Structure 1
């Protein structure tokens, strides 16, 4: 599907892996080094739109990306998210999180914690 879907019309980041079914891209976001997306090449919105073997392949890839990021970057946490509210094209966010990042421990799409929330007065 072409048209208005940004993930059908562009890669969504720097492609670091691609096969006939999916691609893994590195997102250019200086605030979140290592932020990757696993994107289905076909225009589908939900995991249940995929056949069971494709679902398994998608999740296996998400797990492999997570494992590689943990080994290389040693983050404090990895966040996995598949939302699709803004871009209804199946993709998973694989986001290394560090205690020093500007949103931690909140989701990266949430508001930044205030200084008081981060360092409460004693």
Structure 2
């Protein structure tokens, strides 16, 4: 799916956002919102979905998924099978990655590494 991103906590192993102290939680959610805002600006989706699951990968991460204007399941839950809709254009992937890096700072490092 175009623009689908993960925000992964990289400062030690935790499973849940509640495992973070308040300052670290603020950093994690700030990164998640930065990614969401960048996707909103670049892709203009109908909706952004934010999901923190951890059922299969027991390490804190968030899925940030832009729902397209032409959504095969409007108003419904995220259809996980829809995420595998073929190979994205490499040029578009690199452009989106560059945009996200610029929004996260010159180095592309998340807030958790900019303390």
TM range (shorter): 0.5 to 0.7
Q: What residue ranges of structure 2 are gaps of 5+ in the alignment?
A: 83-115
Higher relative contact order (CA 8 A, sep 6+): 2
Q: Which of the two has higher C-alpha Rg?
A: 1
Determine the C-alpha separation between the residues in 1 that align with 2:74 and 2:81.
10
Greater per-residue strand proportion: 1
Task: Give secondary structure in 2 for the equivalent of 1:83.
Answer: coil
Q: How large is the RMSD of aligned CA atoms in angstroms? A: 1.9
The answer to whether residue 3 in structure 2 is matched with residue 34 in structure 1 is yes
- What TM-score do the two structures reach when normalised by structure 1? 0.60
d(CA) in 2 for partners of 1:110, 1:70: 20
What do residues 44-75 of structure 1 show as CA deviations (whole Å, max 9, x unaligned)?
A: 10011111110000001111110000000000
- C-alpha displacement of 1:104: 3.6
C-alpha distance 45-34 of structure 1, shift in aligned 2 (>3 A): same
Compare the two structures and name the one with the higher helix fraction: 2
* Number of residues of Structure 1 aligned to a counterpart in Structure 2: 81
